[in-house]
A and B are shown apart, each in its own frame.
Chain A
């Protein structure tokens, strides 16, 4: 059974091909102004890597930001469901999942089968999403990819950033820079500020081990470390945290096909 999962996020689009229970191939690209184009491009990328055609897919499931309309998808499933399934595939003991992309943050509780029992999502406020890190990196003048590591070089907890709002925090940070505060200390304050937004969201759904982090934020060691410390749980992160959604979509497709096959077999037996 071969299924394709397509996840179009606000910053990146991902496609993943699952054959039986193995990841065959996957691809990721930046999301352009047209999500259908992005979905097509990234799907073609994954297909090329697998040496397959779209017709070889038994089912195509799409997910992502908003009600995405991918014309070749057979079903569209919520990102919440997909992230839980994907995290559960990598870590069957996962019960609390934090997923953060550029524009949103999701806190998810799931059961042993990867089914969602509780969730909260914030996509309204940039202070609680990856966007805040992009703003800070630009303000302080460091590459986004280095932000987390630099924040760990701070002496202690870094400087406090009292404004929740990133727009208001700008003037605080500019004042720190003018005052000669080190970049490490400022970035430590920024990571701590983001971590505290995340803690609020996690508190809403409650936390229980094991703890999984997915999405771009998993690559920010500064935020990850701070969350682990305050939650008292180690964070499990898979080899490519940004494909968890697409993987979950492909798994959902596989499970749906299995359910349909079982239902059809049941009908056959009843005759």
Chain B
């Protein structure tokens, strides 16, 4: 039996296909101007390894993310928090928390030992601490986003970026660049600023050891490092963390299917 989950984010669309309860295919593509198209294409790409088409799914598709209603193949939708929790618990049974750090939103979820949601915090109203922050700074500094984390870890200087706000941080970065501050030092300060925002949410919800970090920002080693410093706890970063909510959606599709 195959099931699929589609996570239509503001910036990126992810799809995961499960066959008999195991991941059989997945894909990531930019959402761009048409969430509907992105969802379709992502699903097709994720089905490709099985040589299957959306028709073969028989509607066993659940969509999540900011653009969940644009996914035509999905008959049902699920909340992002549910999907992040399900996906994390599947990959790491017994995990007591999930940090879902996405392009334009951040979710922090506390779980019990069975993976049920106890508490959560959500920020989708302020760009501080989200992927947009990183993208904007990368553009200002001329550094590719996937290099930002590793570069930031090469620094041990204390360049303070005092703003969490994207717009103000941009100005601070511009003046640091003018002052010829080394890029890795500026990056270190930026990553600290992002992590401060996220760690604040995490400590309010009360996350402890062994939380799972998912979402696109979990790919950034600099952010993960700062978060571990500020939370004083290790984080678990699964392979391909950005598809974990989509995986959770697929699991929900499988669960609902079994219940008939």
- By beta carbon, the residue of chain A nearest B169 is A126
Q: Identify B168's interface contact among A103, A164, A168, CB under 8 A.
A: A103
Inter-chain residue pair count (beta carbon < 8 A): 36
Chain A CB within 8 A of B203 CB = no
Contact A126 B165 (CB under 8 A): yes
Contact A167 B163 (CB under 8 A): no
Interface segment out of the listed B38-46, B125-133, B147-155, B223-231? B125-133
- By beta carbon, the residue of chain A nearest B167 is A126
Chain B CB within 8 A of A150 CB = no
Q: How far is the CA of A33 from the CA of B176 in the complex (A)?
A: 9
Contact B125 A163 (CB under 8 A): yes
- By beta carbon, the residue of chain B nearest A124 is B165
Contact A125 B179 (CB under 8 A): no
How far, in Å, is A133 (CB) from chain B's closest CB? Answer: 11
Q: Chain B residues near A163: list those with CB within 8 A.
A: 125
- By beta carbon, the residue of chain B nearest A134 is B167
Contact B126 A165 (CB under 8 A): yes
Q: How far is the CA of A91 from the CA of B178 in the complex (A)?
A: 41
Q: Chain B residues near A125: list those with CB within 8 A.
A: 126, 165
Q: How far is the CA of A135 from the CA of B165 in the complex (A)?
A: 14
How far, in Å, is B260 (CB) from chain A's closest CB? Answer: 39
Q: Chain B residues near A223: list those with CB within 8 A.
A: none
Q: Chain A residues near B132: list those with CB within 8 A.
A: 167-168
Q: How far is the CA of A103 from the CA of B124 in the complex (A)?
A: 23
- By beta carbon, the residue of chain B nearest A123 is B168
Count of B residues near A, CB < 8 Å?
A: 16
Known: A33-B178, A33-B179. A168 touches B165 (CB 8 A): no
Contact B167 A135 (CB under 8 A): yes
Q: Chain A residues near B166: list those with CB within 8 A.
A: 126, 165, 167
Q: Chain B residues near A166: list those with CB within 8 A.
A: 167
Chain B CB within 8 A of A226 CB = no
Q: How far is the CA of A131 from the CA of B170 in the complex (A)?
A: 12
How far, in Å, is A89 (CB) from chain B's closest CB? Answer: 31
Known: A33-B175, A103-B168, A126-B168. A165 touches B127 (CB 8 A): yes
Chain A CB within 8 A of B252 CB = no
Q: Chain A residues near B175: list those with CB within 8 A.
A: 33
Q: How far is the CA of A33 from the CA of B175 in the complex (A)?
A: 7
Q: Chain B residues near A168: list those with CB within 8 A.
A: 104, 125, 127, 132
Q: How far is the CA of A166 from the CA of B168 in the complex (A)?
A: 11
Q: Per-position contact with A for B154-188: 1 when CB-CB < 8 Å, else 0?
A: 00000000011111100100010011000000000
Known: A33-B175, A33-B178. A167 touches B127 (CB 8 A): yes
Q: How far is the CA of A126 from the CA of B166 in the complex (A)?
A: 8
Question: Which B residues contact A (CB, under 8 angstroms)?
Answer: 104, 125-127, 132, 136, 163-168, 171, 175, 178-179
17 examples of A-B residue contacts, CB within 8 angstroms: A33-B178, A103-B171, A125-B165, A126-B165, A126-B166, A126-B168, A131-B168, A132-B167, A163-B125, A164-B125, A164-B126, A165-B125, A165-B126, A165-B127, A166-B167, A167-B136, A168-B125
